[in-house]
Amino acid sequence: MGTSNHVDLETYTKQVAEQAKAASRQMASLPGGTKIAWLRASAQCLRDHTSDILAANKQDIAAAPGYGLSDAQIDRLRLTPERIEGIASALEEVASLRDPIGSVIDSTVRPNGLRIDKVSCPLGVVFFVYESRPNVTADAAAICAKAGNAVILRGGKEAIHSSQAIVAQLALAAKEHGVPEHAVQLVDTTDRAAVGHFLKLSQLIDVAIPRGGEGLIRRVVAEATMPVIKHFNGNCHVYVHADADLSMAEQILINSKCQRMGVCNACESLLVHKDVAAEFLPSVAKALAANDVEIRGCEQTCQILSQAVPATEEDFGAEFLGPIISCKVVDSVEQAIDHINRYGSGHTEAIITTSLEPARLFAEGADSSAVMINASTRFNDGGEFGLGAEIGISTDKFHARGPCGIEELTTYKYIVQGQGQVRG
Among 245, 275, 294, 319, binds its own copies (CB under 8 A): 245
Query: Which residue, 131 or 384, has its beta carbon nearer to its own copies?
Result: 384
Instruction: Specify which residues 209 forms β-bridges with.
Output: 128
| Residue 199 in the binding site for its own copies (CB under 8 A) | no
Q: 350: helix, coil or strand?
A: strand
- The answer to whether the beta carbons of residues 249 and 281 sit under 8 Å apart is no
Binding status of residue 9 toward its own copies by CB under 8 A: no
Distances (CA, A) of 313 to 316, 318, 325: 6, 9, 13
- Pairing between β-strand 104-109 and β-strand 115-122 as defined by DSSP bridges: antiparallel
Give the Cα separation of 236 and 343 in Å (integer).
10
Contacts with its own copies in 128-167 (CB under 8 A)?
none
Q: Judged by CB under 8 A, does residue 282 bind its own copies?
A: no
- Phi and psi at 108, nearest 5°, equal -150, 150
Q: What secondary structure, in 3-state letters, does 77-124 show?
A: HCCCHHHHHHHHHHHHHHHHCCCCCCCEEEEEECCCCCEEEEEEEECC
β-strand partners of 324: 294
Which residues in 167-299 belong to E strands, given as ranges?
A: 184-186, 207-211, 236-240, 267-273, 294-297
Stretch that binds its own copies, among 139-147, 230-238, 300-308, 412-420 (CB under 8 A): 412-420
Stretch that binds its own copies, among 52-60, 111-119, 131-139, 268-276 (CB under 8 A): 111-119
**Per-residue CA distances from 251 to 56, 165, 220, 377 (Å):** 43, 43, 37, 12
Among residues 145, 372, 389, 404, the one that binds its own copies under rule CB under 8 A: 372
Query: Residue 1, interface with its own copies (CB under 8 A)?
Result: no
When the beta carbons of 110 and 192 are compared against its own copies, the nearer one is: 110
Report the candidate in 363, 324, 367, 360 with the shortest Cα–Cα distance to residue 343: 367
114 binds its own copies (CB under 8 A): yes
Q: Is 93 in the site for its own copies (CB under 8 A)?
A: no
| Residue of 196, 212, 227, 317 that binds its own copies (CB under 8 A) | 227
Instruction: Please report whether residue 397 would count as binding its own copies according to CB under 8 A.
Output: yes
**One of 4, 29, 89, 307 touching its own copies (CB under 8 A):** 29
DSSP 205: -
- Among 74, 287, 309, 363, which residue interacts with its own copies (rule: CB under 8 A)? 363
Site for its own copies in 324-343 (CB under 8 A): 341
Does position 402 interact with its own copies (CB under 8 A)? The reply is: yes
Q: Distance (Å, rounded) from C-alpha 348 to C-alpha 380?
A: 7
Nearest CB to its own copies, comparing residues 116 and 242: 116
> Pick from 9, 28, 172, 216: which binds its own copies (CB under 8 A)?
28
* Site membership for its own copies, residue 190 (CB under 8 A): no
Report in angstroms the alpha-carbon separations of 209 from 30, 224, 298.
23, 10, 37
Nearer to its own copies, 43 or 121 (CB): 121
296: which strand partners?
A: 309, 326
Selected binder of its own copies within 151, 272, 376, 392 (CB under 8 A): 376
306-311, long-range: CB within 8 Å, 24+ apart, which pairs?
A: none
Q: Are 381 and 356 in contact (CB under 8 A)?
A: no
- 23 binds its own copies, rule: CB under 8 A: no
> In angstroms, rounded to a whole number, what is the distance separating the alpha carbons of residues 105 and 403?
20
Residue 396 engages its own copies in binding (rule: CB under 8 A): yes
In whole angstroms, the minimum distance from the beta carbon of 164 to its own copies comes to 30
Is 421 a binding residue for its own copies by CB under 8 A? The answer is yes
| Segment interacting with its own copies (CB under 8 A) among 66-74, 231-239, 288-296, 365-373 | 365-373
Site for its own copies contains 373 (CB under 8 A): yes
123 touching its own copies, by CB under 8 A: yes
Q: Which is nearer to its own copies, 68 or 386 (CB)?
A: 386
Q: Tell me the one-letter amino acid at 66.
A: G
User: Least CB distance from residue 71 to its own copies, whole Å?
Assistant: 25
215 touches its own copies by CB under 8 A:
no
Q: How far is CA 38 from CA 28, 89, 94, 239, 390, in A?
A: 15, 13, 11, 46, 20
Binding piece for its own copies, criterion CB under 8 A, among 42-50, 75-83, 118-126, 231-239 = 118-126
* Interface ranges with its own copies (CB under 8 A): 25, 28-29, 108, 110, 114, 116, 119, 121, 123-124, 206-207, 227, 245, 248, 251-252, 254-256, 259, 341, 359, 363-365, 367-376, 378-380, 384-386, 396-399, 401-402, 411-423
